[in-house]
Amino acid sequence: MSTTRPRYGFLKYVQAAFVWRWNLLALGAGVALAFLSGQPDVILPLVAAAEIGYLGLLSTRPRFRKAVEARASTRLRPEVRTVESTQVLKQMQSVLKPEAWARFEGLRDRCLHLDRLARQFRGLQSSDNFPASELQTGSLERLLWMFLKLLYSVDALNRFLWGTNRAELAKQLESSQKELQAAQAGQRSEKVLRSLQDKVATLKQRLENYDRAAENREFLTLELDRIEQKVNVISEMAINTRDAADFTAQVDGITDGIAATEEAMRSLDVAPVLERETPPPLLTEQF
What is the SS3 assignment for 268?
coil
Does residue 105 belong to any structural domain of this protein? yes
Higher pLDDT, 91 or 185: 185
Provide the domain count of the chain: 2
Weakest mean pLDDT among 47-51, 225-229, 277-281: 277-281
pTM: 0.61
**pLDDT of the residue at 4:** 43
Higher-scoring residue by pLDDT: 84, 197: 197
Q: Are residues 271 and 164 in the same domain?
A: yes
67 & 84 share domain: no
pLDDT of res. 26: 78
122 and 242 fall within a common domain: yes
d(CA 103, CA 106): 5
Residue 66 in domain: yes
Which pLDDT belongs to residue 127? 45
Domain span including residue 31: 1-76
Domain limit, last residue, from 30, 46, 76: 76
Residue 113 and residue 184 in one domain: yes
Q: Please, what is the end-to-end C-alpha distance for the chain in angstroms?
A: 19
Asked if the structure places residue 287 within a domain, the reply is no
Alpha carbon 62 to its chain's center: 14
Query: Cα separation of 173 and 170, whole Å?
Result: 5
**Do residues 44 and 93 share a domain?**
no
Average pLDDT over residues 142-151: 86
Asked if 146 and 231 sit in the same domain, the reply is yes
Percentage, residues of the chain above pLDDT 90: 21
Residue 280 domain flag = no
